[in-house]
Chain A
Amino acid sequence: MKLTTLLLFAVIMQVSAGTYAQKISLSVKDAKLLTIFDQISDQTGYSFVVTNSILQHAATVSIRVKDADLKAVLDQIFKNQPLEFSVDHKTVLVKKKEPSFVEDLIARFQAVDLRGSVVDENNLPLAGVNVVLKPQNKVVATTNGEGHFNISIPESGATLVFTFVGMETQEVVVKANSKFINVKMISKSILANDVVITGYNKTSKKMMAGSYAVLDSTVFANKPFPNVDDLLKGQVAGVVVSAQSGQPGTAQKIRIRGTNTLSGDAEPLWVIDGVPLQDNVPNIPSSSEIKAGSLDNVFLTGVAGINPNDIESITILKDASAAAIYGSRAAGGVIVVTTKRGKPGKMRLNYSSLFSSSTSPQRDAGLMNASEKIAYEQGLWDEFSAPNFELSKKDPGIKFPVIGITGLIRAGRGKYAGMTAAQQDAELAKYAQSNENGYDLLFRNSFSNTQHLSLSGGADKYTYYTSFGYTNNAGLLKNNDYNRYNFKTNLDINPVEAVKIKIGIDYYSVKSKAPALGSVDPFKYAYFVNPYESVYNSDGSYRADETYYSLNRANDPTSPIIRNLVPDVGFNIMREMNETSSISKKNQTLLSTGLDLKITKQITFESLFSYKYTNNSVNEIYGANTKAAFDNRLSLDVDTRKQYASINQTDNSSSEYMGRAQFSYKDYFGQNNAFTAYAGSEMRGSNTKGFYSKRFGYDPITGNTNTPLPAPTDNKLIDYDVLQSYLAAIDRASGDLFGEDKFISFYAATEYGIQDKYIFNLSVRADGSSYFGSDKQFNPTWSAGFGWHIAQEHFMESLKPTINRLTLRLATGYTGNISKAVTPQLVLGYSNDVRNINGNTYRIGDVLGAPNPLLRWEKTYDVKGSLDFGFFNDRITGLFEAYYRKSDDLVTKAQTLSTTGFIDQRYNTASLENKGLEFTLGGKPILTKDFKLNLSLNFAYNLNKVTRFNAPYASMSLSNTWKGYPLSPVFSGMYTGIDPETGLYQYQLRPDAVINTSTDLNKSDNYRYYLGTAIAPYTGGFNIGASYKAFTLNIGGAYSWGAKSFEYIVPPVSYDKAKRGTLNESPQIYQNDLYAQYLNVRRNAADRWTSTNTSGTYPRVWDAFGQKYDFGYYNPMDSEITRGAFLKDLSYLRIRSIILGYSLPAKMLKKVSLSTVGFSLSLNNFFTFTNYDGMDPETPGATYPISRSVSFGVNVGF
């Protein structure tokens, strides 16, 4: 600490080393010592060495001298100071005065010992209140955690001044003989209270008419979830955060007050310390060599790089009034993150560490085990295969279905040829014993840890905050690992009163490693793999999976092979997991600097400039023997059996800048009036460059590639045509990536508060983007708001003890959105290919899409009303909000005459509306010195409805947006059970269905019902916090009610992949398909409908190539209707975390010179209440589920 101060001073003083005079002239009044030192140093060239801490006790000095000696001046300055000085060469060394014994004695006699306690309006102790002795203007004490202070003052009758941020300053005259004083601090004018940082402005809660929520660092610090977005879950009414996958590091989907666009980006805008995040990941063109989507977007976008421990607060701007200042990108709401900055005072060092252990998901998929599956297969064999199998012995032309290992063995396929029945039974018995659970194979219990070290502190003229963070989050999936390193420094320099400089350096590195499985989805594999497929041979080598890819070979052995699905060594999931890898890395450096100049007392010039450099890279390696490598061969080799490794690399870096300059005016005047206004402009731009490259025949040891050549002809020649197409394929395997965009904005806003009672907000903004044509480049948006602090009115005076706060807010405004799916101009895109003809080469290209010269920004109109209240001194608080948002000019596809050359075009055609209610309740039922209990609950209802939309295609399968219904509606058949006659799923006929012929019974239109929405309309969260002395308990949870979804986990095998012959009876749903039973099924399949088990709970199974039943004539067969049987209610209530904390008592810590030591133990995602029967209602289906974990954390402060 001292070292830092010295260093900084050395720098400041160094500036003054120039010519100097011996005589000093000074004229200052009540100046700080530092200021005087500065002036002396300027005049004489003498340097001062001084530490900040001792200056804290120095009094201000008034001095007037002309051409005086240095010594004389210093003597005068140090006269009444608790300091002394010595001069050595050209350095003045300042140190604390050591009191002489006599002086000490006198002081002790004279001094009055005084103790006291400071409380706030709620009679709660207030820590950190400065106690200043008035005549010396010197801080003599600061209240401790219990609000106590303890001082010795020279005499009674002195005046003590108590100061605290946000509170009115209190002056107390110490009466004679008083030993203890009680001080109550009162909050300042309500308009100046509770700071809200909006990114452009620092305002107060009471001055805002918009809807916002502020979350402080306690929500984010030392939590067992490493990502910020995850931590927002359930915290704020109307902010719905949903996991897309349980994979560590994946960005969460966030919707603030519903979705406002059909084709644009509905995610909120993240703003970190005033800098908006603008990720610009270029798309990699897909070609026959490069598969689309190989760039792992999951880790490259979003806010994965922010360390939650560095967050001071997050402000969520929910409505137009709050967010309109962000203009065109604010339609999805704005999340403003403010990171920690240093505070003056001695250096604080904080270290926290968190260890977590994740265990498997709490629910089970309910799949069959090996013996159950083999018994099930045997039943199918007996029913569907055995009769024809017997016939085929005589007539080899007769075909029969082969299902699973039982089918393969019974039919004597491959190595099972020629077995006797007894041998077959023995073989099957062996398989029945090898019980391999797909999930156990792929999943693991993983350990994760998070380390965070921060240093902060500062002095009068500067403060700093530096932190280092490390997070390792091992995924539930084997070989899946996520690492993050953070380094952050925030420096505030305040060289003179009028100038503030902010410097921020933020670096992070994220690395994610996972197997590169390509076409094999590990979760689908885990779900469908047959339980008897063991992974290793007895010698430990990889055992080829006999069933996962063998459906076609087993059922249609005589047909020519169209294309091999697996390499010659066979498919083994563990080989895929171990010998392929995908490593995504993101490194980002953000430098930001801000300069605020106070021009007059009211007017400030504020500026912010940031530069961000980001590098993303993805390395995917497919080991030589894997299926992934087999699928990733050169397109020329797909019909061969060649096998070689390959590597797919992408690297792109982008630089982004943002510059902003604004003038702000801020004034408090009259009786509790406040006026602030600011206006400015902002420009942003980004530039991305990169490359992608795929190389074949890769050797991971040397990094070299040995590209496999096409096979030569007999005389060792390669056909020119072959060579040409070979070169073309190599050319397609690599290329450049680039992108650039720019934005310019102008904005202005004002807030006006009158007599603490009425507030008016107004904001306007115009955004221009490089994305639009010159005519429609700018999009003006505006908002207006009004607030009425009813509790401040005179007529509420009598109710004040009960209702301490009551505020009505009304606001309206516009926000915008860009749909990047269309351009106003005609844009041509060059193709990756060229035309070669007669020795000439021509570029080729195509029109990118139908241009729309009338294209406009999407606009969202927003109106809301809210009532904010606090009872009994905020012991009970609440916020009730209602809003209506109408989004117009949404870009959707509209059909055009094909004579235009396009069959459809994107137009600003659609409208949708969001209506919602939000309710937040908080209470502090118990608030005593030792025991505190905090409760909070939030609830939100949001339902949207498409009010104008012309479907370009009147087909359910092509579009799922319908006028009069919410976004993501669920239309399907209403499932009524299994027909005991046929074993088919039955669906409710619509009451308006007209049935004239039996085939009317198969029409989808006669069954389709609106069954709900896939987006939960009711969401919320709750939090219970309790503390008893040094113990704290925190229980947080989230709930979601009313979402519906089809759990339609379609097997990778089906009759059409079996390709056996003439199709006689297609299945109604995949469960009917005999060939879908080739892989694993849920246990209830054993209870399938048969003519002898007509009460079965699983529908009838049949062979699509077998007997013809003509079910399709009088039953709905379209999956659009039949999937109604798989409709699940995804409502759930989840206790996300239960955190028990304990802090060591201060007494104990004194001995070891630590300020705080805390421990925490948390249980994460342990309890979920739901009727959903799959693995996880938050991430339904066969995907990466959310895991349970236990965490232990330690937090030490020095």
Chain B
Amino acid sequence: MYYPYFRGKQFELLALRESATLIAESQFTPIIEPVRESLNGLARTLTSLTDAGCRAIVVVNPRHGDHRDGGESISAFLEQAYGGNDAVMAGLLLRSVGTPEAAIALIDAHRGRGEAIIHAGFTDARAIADALRDRMSSVSNVFLEDQANMLYRRHFSGSTRVLLRDGFEQKRNADYDRVDPFSDLHVTYRELGMQGYGDFLTVGDHYTEGGGPAYAVAIHLTFIDPEKDDAMFVYHFVSDSNDTPTDPAGKFAQALTKLVEMLDRGNSKLLETSAIQELRLLHERQHFPGLGYVKKLSIKHHLETLADYHRRTDA
């Protein structure tokens, strides 16, 4: 059903580990694109996930980060650690670069471990569909919405099809409005002929490495609006004094105050998740836990919000 896409940065992996039980109960399938050379964090995360009974997809040919020139070590790791365990599937990214022959060779190399093909800019749908003909029903096809149109997606009917939409618009933190639309795929994916949907969390598809000091600090929190047909929106709580890249802790406190004021008004529509409770506690203590930690809370909140939605509507 829901396929959240994670880049394997430390705080994203932590969000996954801490949400393992929720992910298992909700039958979500996280997709993880490892971006760090060391696979230790990934290994620990997969252990947490599989112990909890989750399924996961690990991208073996990442577009970004340390493995962008080749993910042989990821394939080897999956084979060695999860050779006989179909809970962890290989995710194969098909991008605009590369020939159909190379794409098919990549798919065949991971045949049998349960493949998830991620269509991210590749254009020759027919060649791939032909190669998959006799086993279409056993593969998952994940489409990046802006890079695989309906005509393209039609070639893969008969397989498990998942549509990924990046609902998170990336801007400079200082430039965000208070609220933006996020996505309605959680409501509409079946009508689009899909068996699942996904997003890039409150991080976005656009990948940055580290990045400089933050001039503004923002807390991004998603919510579902029952008055708008259950569409999802995202709040951006942004600090005020944004002229210098100093004092992130003080800026976090400014953003957090705005969030808590909104919560106190009682009509925020934010679900009272474990992340919200933790943010309330941070506000009480006036404590800044670091920017990565805040990002982790934002992701956990998003996962819990969608889990709650499906619990209510799919029952």
- Do A and B truly interact? no
Residue positions of B touching A, CB distance < 8 A: none
